[in-house]
Amino acid sequence: MFKGLKLAGLCIFGTEGIAAGELRRMGAENVSAENGRVVFDYSDKLLVRSNLRCRYCERIVLLAGVFKAITFEQLFENVRSIPWENITGKAGAFPVNGSSLSSKLSSIPACQKIIKKAIASRLMSKFKVSHCPEDGAIYRIHFVALKDTFSIMVDTSGEGLHKRGYRAQSMEAPIKETLAAVIADLAIIKSNHTVIDPTCGSGTLLIEAAMKAKNIAPGLHRTFACESWQQIDKELWRSERALAVEDIITDCGFHGYGYDIDDEAIALAKQNAEKAGVAACLHFEKRDIRDYSDHFDRSTVICNPPYGERLLDYKKAREIYTVMGKKFEKAPGKSYYIISPDEEFERYFGRKADKRRKIYNGKLKCQIYMYFKN
């Protein structure tokens, strides 16, 4: 139905390569990683599959059009040339929102109005009606104008894909599920690994690592905006969900250990792990990082220690980095992946990272400090 259009997975800047690899493994074709998004060929199957299975993308959109426009006439004509009759149909509702950066057409309300008008004009002419009822399924239109190039997208996910459904409540400063999944990917977590998070908070990093190790599709227990679109066969949703359930690795040797100084965080982590279906392979316990010890032959630490700005003051956060540096010994079979916005992290930790990766945690510029060489 949407033949000729492209799909795109929107992701955190810097994670396009990881998201593109995952989409290729799902069977996506003609995959190309761009700034903050991964574009691939449309198929009904990939639309459903990517929504259900993407760990790293924030949402999946239909890329309806990409064009340059510096006048409202150009914007109108380009939007009107998109085959909206195949997208929204006669009754679909099409709310419009978006953003504009470094573009001549900088007024968001004005762009919204023109795009809305162009879509309505096309639909009225194609369906020979005098107004669009917009009383059917919702097709949320999102535009991005960047240096005068407009991307016109139709959201297929609804709520962001980071909402897996297991984190009803969270602690202060939880890490976003998609970012936690990226850290688990960088740490190369496998089905037989032992993973530790010594400042686990609500358990997000370990839960994402466990879901990855067990190959649990993150969207298995939620719904998506495009499920109400009549273009997608309901049977496809059923069969793709069944396939995702079949693909879960039930007998894997993954074990995760989460510690935190806060009782409430530990209780919450246990609840979240239960909801995510990974409680059996995770163990949570109250423990101060100062009492940290690791008796495993091989283990991977992934953690998101307190940030000075939000939880403790800088000094206290840095004291924790120093404790970590002493406790996280450099030894065969041990590796450590720590995300922090503190540019002085390595100094307080006491060792230069073997590799670093710049990444944004929301608006906060962070680095993932990786220690894996022995």
The residues that touch ligand SAM, with contacts defined as CB under 6 A, are 170-171, 173-175, 199, 201-202, 204-205, 260-262, 265, 288-289, 304-306, 311, 320
Tell me the residue ranges of DSSP E strands in 198-268: 255-260
- The least CB distance from residue 234 to ligand SAM, in Å, is 35
Tokens of 198: 């010594």
- Nearest CA to 86 among 286, 211, 229, 203? 229
Comparing CB distances to ligand SAM, the nearer of 220 and 261 is 261
CB of residue 341 to ligand SAM, shortest distance in Å? 10
Closer residue to ligand SAM in complex, CB, 42/337: 337
Three-state DSSP class for 58? strand
Tokens of 76: 């109108």
Q: Looking at beta carbons only, is 40 or 369 nearer to ligand SAM?
A: 369
Output 88 or 204, the one with its CB closest to ligand SAM: 204
DSSP designation for 83: -
* Closer residue to ligand SAM, CB minimum distance, 72 or 166: 166
Euclidean distance between CA atoms 333 and 193, whole angstroms: 11
Chain position whose Cβ is nearest to ligand SAM: 201
Report the nearest approach of ligand SAM to the CB of residue 158 (Å).
23
Give the Cα separation of 212 and 196 in Å (integer). 15
Nearest distance from C-beta of residue 178 to ligand SAM, angstroms? 12
- Among residues 302, 278, 289, the alpha carbon closest in space to that of 369 is found at 302
How far apart (Å, rounded) are the C-alpha atoms in residues 350 and 336? 14
Tokens representing 96 are 């419009």
Judged by beta carbon, residue 290 or residue 351, the one nearer ligand SAM is 290
Q: What is the end-to-end Cα distance of the chain in Å, rounded? A: 54
Q: How far apart are CA 270 and CA 283, in angstroms?
A: 8
CB of 58 to ligand SAM, least distance (A): 17
* Smallest separation, CB 334 to ligand SAM (Å): 19
CA–CA distance, 248 with 157 (Å, rounded to integer): 22
Decide: 341 and 348 in contact? Cβ < 8 Å: no
The residue (of 60 and 195) whose beta carbon lies closer to ligand SAM is 195
Q: In this structure, are residues 356 and 367 in contact, taking their beta carbons and an 8 Å threshold?
A: yes
For residue 170, the minimal CB distance to ligand SAM (Å) is: 6
